[in-house]
């Protein structure tokens, strides 16, 4: 069993801590948490065994998991690598939704090989240690990016960790990761945020509009509850890919708008039929 450091005891870090301990991969969790309330709650909920500062966490842990938003992660990853000593077997991994900027940032760090870049594709729209849950990662995909830049033994240890979490590992470079993530994750958050803003604006004058909201609306707008601390740096760090996806998306919206404006039912129908192809792909 390993000693695991978890920097950021939120939804992702907390859920990892729970399953790694339950499944006997970890025997002790050292938590680092900037928010005192979250730290106290994580201790009380048994997510972490103790709360430490960053240096102590790195000193005590075999594997350090950085599970904080992508902006502070840039600095914290450097600090963790700075605290590692030559010849160490320790490994640091992050779980951020953007990978390229983080990769560039430590590319020349002398301890770069101790770092394994990962993105477990799982989550909910909630955050904080109270959102953590067992089984969050079971059966989902996890991307390991730029694995050639890491020590093979470090990669194997991280693979073992994700095997414990029942995740399928997929390998790609950080630049490809960021393109893919823009399509299958980042854009759907933007469409949800924009949908929420649209309906909330109307609601200012129509107090009862949400009495009517159906399950379909709730499902589509669910991601609009997501945390700004997490999503602001993602949109910023993955700017170029997201702008490209947004431009395609706006063209598709525009196609619908034109077809509807023209009462062009055959065009509306063919757009819907084309979109229906998603049935073969998403269960």
Is residue 54 a contact point for a second copy (CB under 8 A)?
no
Is residue 221 a contact point for a second copy (CB under 8 A)?
yes
Per CB under 8 A, contacts with a second copy among 109-138 are: 121-125
Locate the DSSP E strands across 126-250. 141-145, 168-172
Is residue 281 a contact point for a second copy (CB under 8 A)?
yes
How many CB atoms are located within 10 Å of the residue 251 CB?
Answer: 9
Best CA proximity match to 117, nearest among 138, 136, 141, 98: 98
Is residue 79 a contact point for a second copy (CB under 8 A)?
no
Rounded to 10 degrees, the C-alpha dihedral 186/187/189/192 comes to 180
**Candidates 54-62, 74-82, 98-106, 251-259 — which segment interacts with a second copy by CB under 8 A?**
251-259
- Helices then strands, each counted (H, E), the chain: 12, 8
The distance of closest approach from Cβ of residue 84 to a second copy in the complex, given in angstroms and rounded to an integer, is 30
> Contact letters (x/-) for a second copy, 166-185, by CB under 8 A?
--x-x---------xx-xxx
Tell me 133's DSSP state.
Answer: -
Is residue 211 a contact point for a second copy (CB under 8 A)?
yes
Is residue 231 a contact point for a second copy (CB under 8 A)?
yes
Query: Residue from 36, 86, 108, 283 that binds a second copy (CB under 8 A)?
Result: 283
How many CB atoms are located within 10 Å of the residue 191 CB?
Answer: 16
Per CB under 8 A, contacts with a second copy among 84-103 are: none
Q: At what angle do helices 187-203 and 239-261 cross, to 10 degrees?
A: 50
Q: Which is nearer to a second copy, 65 or 143 (CB)?
A: 143
Question: Could you tell me whether strands 50-51 and 63-66 are parallel, antiparallel, or unpaired per DSSP bridges?
Answer: unpaired
Q: Which is nearer to a second copy, 156 or 254 (CB)?
A: 254
The distance of closest approach from Cβ of residue 11 to a second copy in the complex, given in angstroms and rounded to an integer, is 12
- The count of residues interacting with a second copy (CB under 8 A) is 91
């Amino acid at each position: 069993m390993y000693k695991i450091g978890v920097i950021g005891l939120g939804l992702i870090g907390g859920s990892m801590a729970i399953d790694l301990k339950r499944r006997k991969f970890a025997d002790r969790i050292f938590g680092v948490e900037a928010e005192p309330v979250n730290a106290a709650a994580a201790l009380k909920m048994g997510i972490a065994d103790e709360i430490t500062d960053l240096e102590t966490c790195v000193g005590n842990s075999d594997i350090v998991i950085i599970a904080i938003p992508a902006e502070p992660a840039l600095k914290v990853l450097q600090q963790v690598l700075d605290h590692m000593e030559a010849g160490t077997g320790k490994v640091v991994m992050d779980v951020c939704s953007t990978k390229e900027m983080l990769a560039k940032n430590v590319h020349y760090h002398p301890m770069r090989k101790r770092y394994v870049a990962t993105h477990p594709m799982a989550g909910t729209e909630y955050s904080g240690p109270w959102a953590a849950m067992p089984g969050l990662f079971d059966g989902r995909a996890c991307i390991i990016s730029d694995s050639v830049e890491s020590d093979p033994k470090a990669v194997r240890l991280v693979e073992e960790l994700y095997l414990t979490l029942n995740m399928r590992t997929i390998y790609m470079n950080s630049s490809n990761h960021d393109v893919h993530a823009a399509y299958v994750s980042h854009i759907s958050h933007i469409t949800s945020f924009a949908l929420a803003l649209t309906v909330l604006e109307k609601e200012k004058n129509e107090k009862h509009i949400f009495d009517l909201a159906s399950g379909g609306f709730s499902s589509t707008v669910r991601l609009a509850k997501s945390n700004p601390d997490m999503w602001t740096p993602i949109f910023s760090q993955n700017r170029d890919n997201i702008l490209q996806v947004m431009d395609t998306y706006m063209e598709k919206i525009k196609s619908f708008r034109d077809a509807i404006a023209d009462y062009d039912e055959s065009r509306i129908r063919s757009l819907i039929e084309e979109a229906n192809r998603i049935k073969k792909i998403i269960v």
